[in-house]
Chain A
Amino acid sequence: MKTKKDFKSTVVTLLVAMGLIFLPLSGQAAEEIKWGVLIDLSGPTSDWGKNQVKGQLDAMRWVNEHGGINGKKLRLIVIDDGYKVPKGVAGYNRLVDSEKVIGLYIQSTGTIMTLAKKIVADGVATIAASFTSKFQDPAKTPFSFFVSPSYGTMGRIALKWIRDNWKDKTRNPKICYLYPDNKYGRDILNVCKDYAKKIGVDVGPDQVINWPTKDATVQLTNMKRYNPDFAYLTSTAMNGAVVLKNAKTLGLKTKFISNIRSFEETLIELSGGAAEGTYGVHPIAPYGADVPGMKKIVKAHEKWHPGEKGTNVYVEGWVNILCVTEVLKKADKAGNLTPAGIRAAFEQFRNFDTGGLAPPLTFTSTDHRASMAAKIYQIQNGKMVDVSGWVELPRDMTYFGK
């Protein structure tokens, strides 16, 4: 009999222990607004994710120190998805069902595409790090926003810049596209090729460079046969650096233009000098740029992360949270702190100024394209130098949602 009793007490103790473990931590502070962040902090894009999340959390801290959301505290709940789709879906379920966030930031393209239908059904406001134009049509994705021009728009901005600065009257400039064979890599191809044809830029054969990139010599040698003046690189800093290094070794004359996800400070470090002189297209001001909104960011970074290096991804994190703050303030003022209220608040954005950190943002109820402008930067002496000023495209419907 004693055995059974002991067994029972063991079970009870176990249950109590488990209950304690799973007991949600202490009650919530009053008046708190929860916003979710689903981001890769341990997977293949974790370098990027860590800088992004650093920016977002610092911005949150700054916002809370400066009055919060109309006096309420903003709280970010960060979940690491390791860039894996099932983990991302589980994280989303946790944020939405258990933590009851009213909106969230989703990094991975795979995760947000998987969740696209669910996000509409659940009616949760999302800010994406994946700037695919598929999320710009509110008729299809009413709750999706992002604070930058789409990948396709930035690709077109690069083309426009190439064409506008082309001096040789005897022939068109030539460009090749370098990308990994996935959703992200192929996103811009149709739009950019169509636009290139229209404005008179010749497109050479595509070069598929998969991740993780260890060597791109074969693809670059192939590309050399066509000898393009420009190469548009869709990648990440880590993988893009390999491409730039290989290109330098091969002595290519082609000018590389990196897209937003490759063009960051890490690219300069990782490429060991090979990035010098290459270009990048980016809408967000680089860290330390001379714009009014940058002062507080530099101050915060120097105070909270002394000795660390600021990056443009960090600034992008700030921009995301500053927009979220603005939206939450508006929704809160309207007394409608719900996903629908957040959507409505977003759609009131008319040239919302982040202090020059990003081009002025506009969202309407039929058009979720935040902006149509970006700058071309060149890496000079290990720094990102603006070489174009704002290049802006008209807000026409030709490539809307494509």
Chain B
Amino acid sequence: MPSGLFHEKYETDEEIFQTLFVKAWLFAFLAGCALFPLFASKYMISIMTEVGIAIIACHGLNLLTGFTGQISLGHAAFMGVGAYTASILISKAGLPFIVALPAAGAVAALVGMVFGIPSLRLRGLYLAIATIAAQFIIEFVIRRWDRLTGGVEGMYVDPGTLGPLHLNNATHLYYVTFVLAAAVTMATKNIVRARSGRAFVAIRDRYLAAEVIGVNLFKYRLLSFAVSAFFAGIAGALMAQYLEVITHESFTIHQSIDYLAMCIIGGLGHILGAVFGVAFWFILERLLEWMTTTLNSAFPDHITWFVSIKEIVFGVTIIWFLIFEPDGLAARWRTIRAYWKLWPFSY
């Protein structure tokens, strides 16, 4: 019996899930997710649906910002494009959800590519400013294109159906989101392993060197924007189903910044980063909310303190993370795993 993991073929070396242990845990995790609605309250199901949507969106942003190094502050706007595309196709054109979902992704990808064009010339903070422009332009269009989007009144989203699943049912929507989140995670992993992913990383690390070795910068930057916005579009379509009414206020720059923060906490440039970041964000939010509501009920006179405390704790936690975990939770996870692998004989 081998006393470690030894690869004898390239195929095994390239496998994503290499050991039985990992596979078992993954299976247990997925089974847990699948069985979750059986014992969870409606509230927890709706939170988990939000988590799934955020994971899809964060994978997109992570691909763009974490792997390709292009900072984007317009991610929520691309979600908005997807949300409105899907809703208009379902409510006004009467198309089924199964058509509207990829269409939402495709339209968002197109829009993402348009706003990705400046990335050829702009880098770093300048690109961030350009993507803020995307955020504002898209919001403005949503607000003013009354006839299509309902303008400031927003629009009601007809619930989509997917075979036997009706998406206005919280549990059904949870399952759809969960399957899509798993699929997007796998897709991201495979993109990153493939030629395009390596090109992305090369661009991020040193774009000049990447160009010298034959990476077409423009093509891959645009591709990164397109894939990222595609995922955002999918997330947006699900978000529209979740919210049931969408307005321009549902996809603001604050949302974009939140997603970026989740990616940073989780670890930019790690597949698990998006998942960890989202999980951490939501758990912290729930915990603080639970704490403040309990404290509020116990000491109603000081309610305004606790709310401020909540904001401060949230901010401090994120700063703390940036200082002590600059590589995010994904990196910490790796060290923990390495530690246990060798424990108790670490050297």
The chain A residues found within 8 Å of chain B, CB to CB, are: 2-3, 7, 21-22, 25, 41-42, 46, 50, 53-54, 57, 60-61, 75-80, 84-86, 89-90, 93-94, 97-98, 110, 113-118, 181-183, 185-186, 304
Contact = CB atoms under 8 A, between A and B. Distances in A.
Nearest to A304: B301
B343 to A, nearest CB: 6
Interface stretch (B1-9, B106-114, B246-254): B246-254
B43 A93 contact: yes
B289 A183 contact: no
Contacts of B310: 42, 80
Given A78-B293, A90-B47, A93-B46, A57 B249 contact: no
A3 to B, nearest CB: 6
Contact of B245 (A2, A117, A181): A117
Interface in B293-324: 293-294, 296-297, 300-301, 303-304, 307-308, 310-311
Contacts of B47: 90, 93
11 contacts: A41-B303, A77-B296, A79-B293, A80-B307, A84-B255, A85-B250, A86-B250, A89-B46, A89-B242, A114-B250, A182-B152
Interface in B123-147: 143
A159 B247 CA distance: 30
Contacts of A89: 46, 242-243
Interface string B146-167: 0000001110100000000000
B346 interface: no
Contacts of A77: 293, 296-297
8 closest residue pairs by CB, A with B: A97-B42, A41-B307, A114-B245, A97-B43, A98-B43, A57-B300, A93-B43, A93-B46
Interface size class of B (residues with CB under 8 A): 35 or more
A182 B139 CA distance: 12
A94 B41 CA distance: 9
Contacts of B247: 85, 110, 113-114, 183
Given A84-B254, A90-B46, A97-B43, A114 B243 contact: yes
B245 A116 contact: yes
B244 interface: yes
A93 B42 contact: yes
A186 B300 CA distance: 36
Contacts of B292: 80
A22 B40 CA distance: 13
Given A53-B303, A182-B152, A25 B294 contact: yes
B254 A50 contact: no
A63 to B, nearest CB: 12
A90 B170 CA distance: 12
Nearest to A79: B293
B106 to A, nearest CB: 24
B287 to A, nearest CB: 7
B344 interface: yes
B153 A183 contact: yes
A22 B308 CA distance: 22
Nearest to A51: B304
A60 B303 CA distance: 13
A42 B250 contact: no
B249 A85 contact: yes
Contacts of A46: 307
A117 B244 contact: yes
Residue of B156, B296, B310 most packed against chain A (CB within 10 A): B296
A94 B43 contact: yes
Contacts of B307: 41-42, 46, 50, 80
B347 interface: no
Contacts of B50: 86, 90
A85 B243 contact: yes
A86 B243 contact: yes
B340 interface: yes
B41 A97 contact: yes
Nearest to B304: A50
A7 B343 CA distance: 11
A114 B207 CA distance: 44
A113 B287 CA distance: 27
Given A42-B311, A113-B245, A113-B247, 11 more contacts: A2-B344, A42-B308, A75-B297, A77-B293, A78-B293, A78-B296, A85-B247, A86-B250, A89-B243, A94-B43, A185-B152
Contacts of A182: 143, 152, 248-249
A260 B61 CA distance: 41
A183 B156 contact: no
A221 B42 CA distance: 52
Contact of A76 (B289, B300, B304, B311): B300
A115 B287 CA distance: 24
Interface in B315-347: 340, 343-344
A183 B152 contact: yes
Contacts of A78: 293, 296, 303
A117 B343 CA distance: 56
A7 B154 CA distance: 51
A382 to B, nearest CB: 24
A181 B289 contact: no
A98 B156 CA distance: 26
Nearest to B252: A84
A44 B22 CA distance: 45
A309 to B, nearest CB: 14
A302 B300 CA distance: 16
A302 B197 CA distance: 65
B343 A3 contact: yes
B303 to A, nearest CB: 6
B293 A98 contact: no
Contacts of B152: 181-183, 185-186
Contacts of B343: 3
A116 B294 CA distance: 28
Contacts of B250: 85-86, 110, 114
A288 B138 CA distance: 47
